Structure 1
Amino acid sequence: MSGKRWTALIIAAVLFIASSAVTTVFSVFSMDLDDLFDGEEVVDEHVLESGNGRGKIVVLHLNGVIQSSYDAPSLFEASTYNHGRFLKQLDAAANDGTVDGIIISVNTPGGGVMESDQIHDKIVEIQEDYRKPVYVSMGSMAASGGYYIAAPATQVFAHPQTMTGSIGVIMQSINVSELAEDLGIQSEVIKSGPYKDIMSATREMTDDERQILQDMIDESYDRFVDIIVEGRELPRDQVEELADGRIYTGNQAYEADLVDELGDLDDVIEVFRDDIGKGDIDVVEYRQPLGFPSLFGATAQAFLGDQLSVYSMKEWIQQSHAPRLMYLYTE
C-alpha cells in the first residue's frame, strides 16, 4: 500500500475517533443532571439575616423561564432555572421542622403550563398539609406563569414597577411555507392520521386544526382563571375582565386586587416576621449548590466562549421544535 493511502487511512481514522469522542462528550453533557450527579445536594443554605434562633424563614429564588427542558438540562445550563431542583427545594423547606414560612422571590416571564401547575400544586400542599405560609415577592417581572404560581400564596407582594399580569395561554410556531416555496424546498410527510403533523412549519394550518388547538388553549385558560378565582378569592367575572393577556405594573395589579401589598423583598421579610409572631427569626436562602455541574458550567463558559453559545443554541432549537402550551409573556 502506498504512502498516500496510509496517510489517508490514518487521517480518516483520526477524524472518526475525534468525531466519536465529540459525540460522546456532548451526549454526556446533555444527560439529566439529577441522574448523573444524584449525590449532589439540592439545598445550600445561606444566612441572609441572623435572628433570635427561634425559627427561620426560607427564601427561594425562581429566576428565568419556568420549564423543565424535557427534564434533561445540560451541564452547560447548570446555572439556569432547574425545575426539578426547585421542586425539591420546596419539599426540603416543607419538611424542615425549623422552617416557619417560605418566601418565593419571583423573577420570570412565565413558562410551561404543566411546570407552572406543578409549582402551584406544591405551594397549595405546603400551606394546607404542612401548615406553613408561603409569601411571594415579585421582582422586575412575574408575568403569566409567574402570576399563576403566585395566585395561591398566603400573601403576594409586588414592587410598584413590577411587570405582572399577562394572564392567559399561548402556543406558537413559525410558518416558513412561502419561504420554502421560493427556495424550491418541498416537505415530504408520511403520517398515520390527518392531524399528526398539526402546526407543521411547512404548510398552512387548516380550520379543523386551528379549532383543535383553540380548544386546548381554552381549557388551560379556564384553569388559569379558576386558579385566580380560588387563590385570590375574586369574582369570576372580575378575573375574566382582567385576564385578557395584558400586562400590569405592580401599582395597577395592587389596585386590581391581584396582589396584596407593594414592597420589595426586605419589606416582605419584615412583614412576614411580624405575621409569624416569633420576633426577628432567622432568614436564610436556598442557593444552587456549588457542585460539579455548576463548576463545570462556569469553566466551560470561560474556555469555550462562542462555541458554547453555538451548542446552547442547538439545544434551544431542538427543544423548541415542538409547540407547547405556555403561560408565558412574549414581546
Structure 2
Amino acid sequence: MNRRKWTALVIVLAVFALGLTVESLFGGYAQMANHPAYAIDETVVSGAGTSKIVQLFVSGVISSERTNVSLAPMTERLAEQLRRVEEDELVKAVVLRIDSPGGEVVATDEIHRRLLRLKQTRRIPIVVSMGSTAASGGYYLATAGDTIFANPNTLTGSLGVIFSLTNYSEAIDKLGIRTYAIKSGRFKDIGSPARPLTEPERHIFQTLVNESYQRFVNVIVQGRKLPRTRVLQIADGRIYSGEQAKRLGLVDRFGDLDDATGYALSLSGEREALVVRYTDSLSLGSLLFSLQSRWANPDPLGLDRIVTRHGSPRLLYQYMP
C-alpha cells in the first residue's frame, strides 16, 4: 500500500475515533458526490492499441438507492460510466455484463434509456454477456444489446412485473391494536398493511402492473425483433435456462465474457483494442462515506427489509422466488 493510501487509512481511523460524520466534514451526500474524493478510474484489462472496448457491469439488484458499500446508487454510477463512454471517441464498442435478478421498474428503465441513447449518439455496438442470472429487469437491459451471449445454464426470463404488499391486519387485530387514517380521499391510504386490500384498490394496482408489463413487452419486441404475439406467449413470468432462452430467440449465442468481448471487437471494425473497465477509486472520501453509512444505519439487523422485502412498495422488474 502506497503512502497516500496509508495516510487516508490513518485519517479514517482518526475520524472514527473522534466520532465525526461525513455530514460534518462534507455537508452530506449532495456535496460528497461532487467532491474530488468521488472518482472513477479506467483500468486496462487486456489488449493493445488506442481504441477501446469498455466492459460495463450490472451486478445485483437494480436500484436507485445507495447501498451501505457504495458511494453512489447503481443508476448514478452506471449513468456516469455511460456518460464517459459517450464522451470518449476512442471507445468503439461496449460489453454489458449482466448478473442480476432485475430490480426497480424506474431504475431499470432509466438505465435502458441511457443504453439506447448511447447507441443513437455514438452508433457503437453493445454486446451483452449474461452471468449466472439475467432475469426480469436484467433481461430488460439486455434487450438494448445488438447481440446477447449467455451460458446454457444462465437463469433468465422472468419476463414480467411484480408489486408486493405486506399485510398484517389479522395480527394487529389479535393484539388489539387499532390504526386510524385521516385522509383527504378514498384511496389516500391505498395498500395500507393495517387493513385488508379492497377490490377497487387491487384493480388500481393491477392497472399499474399491466402498464409496466406492456412496456416490458414493447422493449422485447423492439430489441429482439420478435412478433408481439410470440412475446406475450413467453412473457408469463417463468424463468428460462440459457439453453431454453436461445431456442426461444431471447439469446443469440453461448459464450462467456471473453467471448462476448471478442465478438464486440469484431463488430467494432478495429483490428485491436484495449479492453477497459471503470472502477471506483480508493479514496479518503469513499472510505468515510462507507463508514458513515454503517454508523448511521437505522436498521442494523435488516428487520425492516425482512418485513417489507424491499422497503416501501414499488413496481419491480425482478425475479423474486
TM-score (norm 1): 0.83
Other-structure match for 2:44 = 47
Q: Which residue of 1 aligns with 2:56?
A: 60
- For the pair 1:311 / 2:308, whether they are aligned, the reply is no
Q: What is the RMSD computed on CA atoms of the aligned residues?
A: 2.8
8 Å CA contact 2:75–2:111 kept in 1: the answer is: no
What residue in structure 2 maps to residue 324 of structure 1?
314
2:143 — aligned with what? 151
Question: SS where residue 302 of structure 2 aligns?
Answer: helix
Distance 1:212 1:26, change over 3 A: farther
Q: Does 1:35 align with 2:25?
A: no
**Structure with the greater alpha carbon radius of gyration:** 1
What is residue 278 of structure 1 aligned with on the other side?
270
For 2:176, which of 168, 184, 187 is the aligned residue? Answer: 184
**Partner Cα distance (1:133, 1:160) in 2:** 23
The alignment partner of 2:179 has SS state of coil
Aligned in 2, Cα 1:179/1:290: closer, same or farther, shift over 3 Å?
A: same
How do 1:1-331 and structure 2 match up within 5 A? Answer: 25=21, 33=29, 35-40=31-36, 41-51=38-48, 53-69=49-65, 73=66, 76-78=68-70, 82-296=74-288, 310-311=299-300, 313=302, 316=305, 320-331=310-321
CA distance in 1, matches of 2:317, 2:300: 27
Matched letter for residue 43 of structure 1: I
Secondary structure of the residue aligned to 2:232 is helix
CA distance 1:205–1:318, shift in 2 (3 Å):
closer
Corresponding residue number in structure 1 for 2:9? none
SS in structure 2 of the partner of residue 330 of structure 1: coil
Q: For the structure 1 residues 158 and 219, does the alpha-carbon distance in structure 2 shift closer, same or farther, using more than 3 Å as the test?
A: same
Identity of matched residues, %: 37
Code of the aligned partner of 1:313: G
Match of 1:11 in 2: none
1:296 shift after superposition: 3.4
Q: 1:68 to 1:189 in 2, by over 3 A?
A: same
How far did 1:54 drift? 3.8
Count of residues paired in the alignment = 301
Amino acid at match of 2:64: S
Alpha-carbon shift at residue 248 of structure 1 (Å): 0.8
Mapped to 2, the partners of 1:28 and 1:111 lie a distance apart of 33
Verify the 8 A CA contact 1:33 1:293 in the aligned structure 2: no
Structure 1 Cα separation of the partners of residues 101 and 22 of structure 2: 29
Q: Specify the SS of the correspondent of 1:48.
A: strand
User: 1:225-262, CA deviations, whole angstroms, 9 ceiling, x for partnerless residues?
Assistant: 01100000000011011100001111111111101111
Q: Is the 8 A contact 1:62 1:108 kept in 2?
A: yes
Distance 1:112 1:226 in 2: 17
Consecutive unaligned residues of structure 2, counting only runs of 5 or more, are 1-17
C-alpha distance in 2 between matches for 1:93 and 1:192: 48
Quote the residue 1:15 is aligned against: none
**What CA distance in whole angstroms lies between the structure 2 residues aligned with 1:124 and 1:257?**
20
Q: What amino acid is aligned across from residue 122 of structure 2 in structure 1? A: Y
CA 1:175/1:314 → structure 2, altered by over 3 Å: closer, same or farther?
closer
| Corresponding residue of 1:3 | none
Question: Whole-Å Cα distance in 2 between the matches of residues 241 and 44 of structure 1?
Answer: 44
Question: What letter is aligned with 1:322?
Answer: S
User: Are the structure 2 counterparts of residues 299 and 212 from structure 1 closer, same or farther at C-alpha, using a change threshold of 3 Å?
Assistant: closer
Does the C-alpha gap of structure 1 residues 88 and 248 become closer, same or farther in structure 2, counting only changes over 3 Å?
same
Contact 2:33-2:72 within 8 A present in 1 as well: no
Secondary structure of the residue that 1:241 maps to in structure 2? helix
Where do 5+ consecutive residues of structure 1 fail to align? Answer: 1-20
> Residues 28, 263 of structure 1: CA spacing in aligned structure 2 closer, same or farther, 3 A cutoff?
farther
Q: By how many angstroms is 1:320 displaced? A: 4.3
Instruction: Report the TM-score, using the length of structure 2 for normalisation.
Output: 0.85
C-alpha distance 322-299 of structure 1, shift in aligned 2 (>3 A): closer
CA distance in 1 between counterparts of 2:39 and 2:107 reads 18
Task: Give me the whole-angstrom Cα distance separating, in 2, the residues matched to 1:243 and 1:230.
Answer: 14
Q: SS of 2:42's equivalent?
A: strand
